[in-house]
Amino acid sequence: MTSEPVKRWLGPRREAIDNVAAGHAKVGDLTGPGRPLDASKPLAHAYVLVIVSQFQGFIRDMHDLAVERLLFASGATPNFLPILTEGIVSARNIDRGNPTHSNITNDFASLGLSPFKMATRNGRWATPGDAQQFTRLMTLRNALAHGNDDSLRALLLGGGVQDTVSWARAQLPVLNRYARVLDHMVWDHLKATTGKVPWR
């Protein structure tokens, strides 16, 4: 039942993430034992950014797939499909902002997937665990992407967040669980809405 967007997230998208981590690891090989902070820190920040950008790409892929399946099931003639698709995705939050839980929820609600109940399918989301770590990762990404040093310092001093490869890598299981839950929610919604199995 795994969708192509999830397969890409766990395959090529994860490889792109791992490539940045490998580049970060090689900095130590070039300079001897340990990694000088001024050389490794930008790569660590790049690692955080690539994780979130690849996850955002996954969300976009999943949303595109859901739109495609809904329009196909609607019986719209092929000539109208590009127009209808553009109408649906033109106001998509993830094309204008970060892949926050709120933006993702609103984008899929526009396809009829509401309520968006992560907690009922992922017990870790109901506790401070996954939801908290997801928000922390997105907040860190935002501070780095906008070069907001004051926000970054406050975030790092607040506890629970580090601008390191090891901390960011530890958040990948959270994103993996999010991807799998979204995969199941979208599958169930499309099946209920169209009466057809959306993917096998």
pLDDT in tens, the chain (200 residues): 799 999 999 999 999 999 999 988 877 555 555 555 566 888 899 999 999 999 999 999 999 999 999 999 999 888 999 999 999 999 899 999 999 999 999 999 999 999 998 999 999 998 889 999 999 999 999 999 999 999 999 999 987 899 999 999 999 999 999 999 999 999 999 999 999 999 98
- The per-residue pLDDT for 70 is 95
**Which of 75, 52, 89, 80 is CA-nearest to residue 178?**
52
Check if the beta carbon of residue 186 is closer than 8 Å to that of residue 62. yes
Dmax (CA) for the chain in angstroms is 63
Check if the beta carbon of residue 131 is closer than 8 Å to that of residue 138. no
| Residues whose CB falls within 8 Å of the CB of residue 142, separated by 6 or more in sequence, listed in order | 98, 148, 151
- The per-residue pLDDT for 37 is 57
Check if the beta carbon of residue 70 is closer than 8 Å to that of residue 194. yes
Neighbours of 23 (CB within 10 A): 13
- The per-residue pLDDT for 34 is 52
